[in-house]
Amino acid sequence: MTKYLNNTLANIKIKKNNFFFFLFIILFVALLVLVKADLVGSLSLIFVALITFYFSRYYKSLATILYVALCVRLVTIFFGNFFLILPDSWGDATLFELRAWEFSQDGFFGVFNYFPSDRTSLFVSWILAFFYSLTDRSVIMGQSLSLLLGMGSVLLGSRLAHKIWSEEISIKVGWILALYPTLVLYSCLILREAYVWFFLLVAFYGVVSWSRDGGFKAIIISFIGFSGATFFHGGMFIGVLVFLVILVITSSIQILTKLKYFKINTNLLFVLILSIISIFYLILNSDSIPKIGSLKTMIQVEVIVDEISNRNINRAAFPEWTIPKTGFELIYKAPIRIIYFVFSPFLWDITQINHIFGFFDGLFHMILFFLLIKNFKLIWRDQTLRFILIILTFYLIFYGLATGNFGTGLRHRTKFIIILILMVAPWIPKIPKLVFNKKNY
């Protein structure tokens, strides 16, 4: 009887949430008509809303979170297009949209000729160009693509938290992903971040599945995710390489262990051989991967020092004293640059009002890393979290050394914030309790 009553109350609550969600969508559409928003963009946003409603029916515990996440992002897109200038809504965001329009001028099939094989930064433009070639130019439609993947990241991040931890933790993670300002912002702009989040989460979903359950299917999912992320930013290639090394080491250990008992696991042997072949193939073909260059040159100290000095540009550049001039200086200045990448701008770096946004984002990263260090032993003991931490560490080292200013650093570190949140989710304080209380979902 009690179970039946709880289910009835839950269904009433879901129907109530659906009612308010559709009421909001109706009002939002009315506002779009009032400000004379373009039809293609408006229909694109409605399409994302319908997809959100579809998935909320299957993940009922996340329904409220998905609705709130979408509503916050729709409001951000609305004000950003008609009343406000959002941070980072110029520069690259404007360039990507303009390139998409230029690529689309030769028609749908003509877009194929502009495949950005040497510039992954324009892959977003290339994707958007296909839509432009079929419809018309619409900034809001371009933003709706980012919105779709941003919403997908909220859902996938929550499900990944459930797989790693528990349903209760997944709810907490879902609320953070739904409301965290940086994630909201970059889900509403024509930039690469939302695309990278989504495919990186797909990759780590495969890593977690492989670590927990094994199976070749999970490895394929990981490669699809890492490859997809690499299309949008070449630096994501590091994750593929590190995961392959992990596969080689773990497979070798398991094979040697079974050999003691005169057993051979053909699946493990296949994974080992395929991983070794893949590593050699990637090393030999790394010259064709944008942002990476040759892996041979990546380990040359002179090249690293020269690259770092060339990337310290514009008014938001890291302090001059963080630039290594020699290989010896690189040893102790590399950790400093990584710290600047993850946590800057610091108070002494703030010279403009828009730097304050980055400052608070850096504070949140400090909290996450404090929780990571405090619970490091527990995290390292868990094989799945250990693999995630190893991959994340190599990402932070690479991007920390390759980034030269905290404006770019803010966008790059945002690529990894969801993974960092997932790792320390159980220890993130429940603030406010009214939001994360079980009764509210």
| CA torsion, ordered 112, 117, 122, 123, to nearest 10 deg | 70
User: 298-326, pLDDT tens digit by residue?
Assistant: 666 777 777 777 666 666 677 788 888 87
Tokens 């897109």 correspond to what residue?
Answer: 77
Calpha distance 189→66 (Å, rounded) = 19
User: 379-406, pLDDT tens digit by residue?
Assistant: 999 999 999 999 999 999 988 888 878 7
For 418, residues 6+ apart whose C-beta sits below 8 A from its C-beta are 153, 157, 177, 183, 197, 200, 201
State the pLDDT at residue 438.
44
State the pLDDT at residue 313.
65
pLDDT reading at 415 higher than 70: yes
Pairwise pLDDT comparison (22 vs 195), residue with the higher score: 195
Q: Which two structure tokens, joined as six digits, stand for 19?
A: 């009612």
Calpha distance 195→292 (Å, rounded) = 19
State the pLDDT at residue 375.
95
State the pLDDT at residue 4.
44
State the pLDDT at residue 298.
63
User: What is the residue type of 371?
Assistant: L
Pairwise pLDDT comparison (317 vs 25), residue with the higher score: 25
Question: For the chain, how long is the longest CA-to-CA vector?
Answer: 75
Mean pLDDT value of segment 97-125: 87
Beta carbons of 77 and 41 less than 8 angstroms apart: no
State the pLDDT at residue 429.
86
Taking residue 338's Cβ as centre, other Cβ atoms within 10 Å add up to 18
State the pLDDT at residue 128.
95
Sign of the alpha-carbon torsion through 202, 64, 59, 367: positive
User: 157-196, pLDDT tens digit by residue?
Assistant: 999 999 999 999 999 999 999 999 999 999 999 999 999 9
Taking residue 51's Cβ as centre, other Cβ atoms within 10 Å add up to 15
Calpha distance 426→161 (Å, rounded) = 10
pLDDT reading at 47 higher than 90: yes
pLDDT reading at 272 higher than 80: yes
The radius of gyration computed from the CA coordinates of the chain, to the nearest angstrom, equals 23
User: 349-390, pLDDT tens digit by residue?
Assistant: 877 777 788 889 999 999 999 999 999 999 999 999 999 999
User: 49-98, pLDDT tens digit by residue?
Assistant: 999 999 998 898 899 999 999 999 999 999 999 988 888 888 889 999 99
State the pLDDT at residue 400.
87
Pairwise pLDDT comparison (248 vs 4), residue with the higher score: 248
Q: Assign 210 a pLDDT band (cuts: 50, 70, 90).
A: very high
Instruction: Give the three-state DSSP class for 405.
Output: strand
Provide the strand spans (E) within 185-335: none
Mean pLDDT value of segment 14-24: 78
Calpha distance 341→337 (Å, rounded) = 6
Sign of the alpha-carbon torsion through 339, 343, 347, 350: positive
DSSP label at residue 301: H
| CA torsion, ordered 14, 16, 18, 23, to nearest 10 deg | -170
User: 211-252, pLDDT tens digit by residue?
Assistant: 998 888 999 999 999 999 998 988 898 999 999 999 999 988
Q: Which two structure tokens, joined as six digits, stand for 409?
A: 């650093």
Instruction: Determine if residue 87 is left, alpha or beta; phi over 0 gives left, psi from -120 to 50 gives alpha, anything else beta.
Output: beta
Instruction: Give the three-state DSSP class for 317.
Output: strand
For 16, residues 6+ apart whose C-beta sits below 8 A from its C-beta are none
* Helix, strand, coil abundance in the chain, percent, nearest 5: 80, 0, 20
User: What is the residue type of 294?
Assistant: S
pLDDT reading at 9 higher than 60: no
Q: Assign 440 a pLDDT band (cuts: 50, 70, 90).
A: very low
User: 424-435, pLDDT tens digit by residue?
Assistant: 999 998 754 434
State the pLDDT at residue 88.
85
Q: What is the mean pLDDT of the chain?
A: 85
Tell me the percentage of the chain whose pLDDT exceeds 90.
51
Calpha distance 312→404 (Å, rounded) = 4
The neighbouring-strand residues paired with 317 are 405
Beta carbons of 222 and 215 less than 8 angstroms apart: no
Calpha distance 414→207 (Å, rounded) = 20
Instruction: Give the three-state DSSP class for 231.
Output: helix
Residue of 198, 76, 97, 206 lying closest to 149 (CA atoms): 198
Mean pLDDT value of segment 317-343: 84
pLDDT reading at 275 higher than 70: yes
Pairwise pLDDT comparison (150 vs 438), residue with the higher score: 150
By CB atoms closer than 10 A (0-12, 13-18, 19+), residue 203 is buried
